[in-house]
Amino acid sequence: MSDAKRSKPYPPISYSDYLKTSPLLELQKTRSAEFGEEAHEEMLFIIVHQTYELWFRQILHEINSILAMFARDLVREEDMGTVVGRLSRIVEIQRLLVDQVSVLETMTPLDFLDFRNMLYPASGFQSTQWRLIENRLGLKASTRLKYNAQPYHASVSPKEAEVLLKSEKDPSLFDSVDAWLARTPFLQIDGYDFGTEYREAVHAMLSEDKQTVLRFAKSDEDRERGLKQIGDTERVFESLFDADRYKELQDSGTFRLQHKAVQAALLILLYRDQPAFNLPFQLLTRLQDIDELMTTWRYRHALMAHRMLGSKIGTGGSSGHSYLKAATDTHRVFGDFFNLATFLIPRSSLPKLPEALTRRLGFHP
Ligand code: HEM
C-alpha cells in the first residue's frame, strides 16, 4: 500500500521504539551466568543463533508471499519479476548465512566445552523455522533421513509439531513450480513439437560423443565405460519424452517433476533468450541457487560440528557430524533442474524455433 493510500494518521516514533531495541536486547541471557560463572563465548553462540532465526523468519516471509502468488489458478505474468526478485533476496540472505558460520568458528572447541553441557537436550534440530523452510521449499517427509528412529517433528513441542505436519500438506514451492511448468503451452503448438525436434538434435550430439570415445579411449575398458555412460544418458533422455518410461525415472528418484513440467523446464533452459522465457529462466536459476546454498550451508555446518565435536554425539542425540553430512546429499529439493544439464546441447546445434512461435515468445508485432 502506498503512503498516500493510508487514511489513519500516525504519530512520530523513535528508532528504539520502532525497532523495539530494549526488549530485543533483553533476549541474550547466557545460561552459564544464570548458573555460575559466565562463559565469555556463550554470548556469541546465542547472538549467532538468534540472528539465524531472524533471517529464517525473513526467508519464510518471502517464500510465503511467493507461494501466495503461485496459489492462483493462473500465475500472473506481471508477478514474475517480483517472484524472481524475492527469490534473489533469499539467495543473498543464504550467502550471509553461509558466511556467518566463520564468525561462530572464532569460538574454539575448548571454549565451547565451557558451556556445552548446559545446552542438553537443546539442538538446532529443533528449529521449527528451519523445518518450515525445508517443507515450504518442498523437502518431502519420505526423503528425510531417520533421526534416532523418530520422525523429525518428534523432537519439538506438540504445538510446533502440528504446524510442521500441516506444512507438509500445504503446496510447497516445488509443487507450485511443478504445476506452473506443467501448464506451459509451448511444448506442442501450431504443428511444432518440441520433443521430436529436440530428440534429433540430442541423438546427433550423443553419436558425436560416441565417435569421440571410439577415437580417443585409452583402453578397451575406457571405451566400454564411455559407451555405457552414453548409452545410459540416451536411455534417460528418451524417457523424458515417453510418459511410461518417465514414470520409472520418478520411481527411482532421478526426477521428481511431472512429465510435462520436466520438458517445459528443458525448453526454458534451452531457449532462455526468447523474451517470454527470460524470467522463467531466471526463476529456475534462482531455485538452483537456493538448492546449492542450502547444501553449502548444510555442508559448512556439518564441518563446523565436526570441528567442534569431533565424533561426539550432538546435544540433540544424533550421530553428530555424520548425520549432518549425510543430510547434505539426501535433503536436496531442486535436483531435477541440475540433472537437466545432462541434456543441454551447444547453442550452435539447437534446432531453430518456428517463426510463428518466436513471434509469440517475443515482442514482435
Ligand atoms: C558450535 C556450533 C554448532 C554445533 C557444534 C552444532 C551441532 C549440531 C549437531 C550435532 C546437529 C545434529 C542434531 C543433534 O544431534 O544435535 C545439529 C543440527 C542442526 N543445527 Fe547445529 N550446531 C552448531 C551451530 C548451529 C547454528 C549457529 C545454527 C543456526 C541456526 C544451527 C542449526 C542447526 C540446524 C538447523 C540443525 C538441523 C539440521 C538437519 O537436521 O539437517 N547449528 N547441529
For residue 295, count other CB atoms closer than 10 A to its CB: 17
Grid cell at residue 273: 533468450
Per domain, the residue ranges of the chain are 34-361
CB 132 less than 6 A from any atom of ligand 1:
no
CA of 290 to the centre of ligand 1 (A): 19
Name the residue among 327, 301, 325, 322 with its Cα closest to residue 48: 301
Residue with the smallest CA separation from ligand 1 atom 34 is: 124
DSSP-assigned states of every residue in 57-89: HHHHHHHHHHHHHHTSSS--GGGHHHHHHHHHH
**Helical H runs in 13-145?**
15-19, 21-25, 31-34, 42-70, 80-104, 109-113, 128-137
Q: How far, in whole angstroms, is CA 301 from its chain's centroid?
A: 16
Q: What is the pLDDT along the chain (365 residues), one digit of tens a residue?
A: 556 577 788 999 999 999 999 999 999 999 999 999 999 999 999 999 999 999 999 999 999 999 999 998 888 989 999 999 999 999 999 999 999 999 999 999 999 999 999 999 999 999 999 999 999 999 999 999 887 778 899 989 999 999 999 999 999 999 999 999 999 888 888 888 998 999 999 999 899 999 999 999 999 999 999 999 999 989 988 988 898 999 998 998 889 999 999 999 999 999 999 999 999 999 999 999 999 999 999 999 999 999 999 888 777 666 678 889 999 999 999 999 999 998 898 898 899 998 888 998 998 66
CB 56 less than 6 A from any atom of ligand 1:
no
The class that CATH gives domain 34-361 is mainly alpha
CB 119 less than 6 A from any atom of ligand 1:
no
- 44, 112, 115, 125: residue to mutate for ligand 1 pocket, most atoms within 8 A of CB: 125
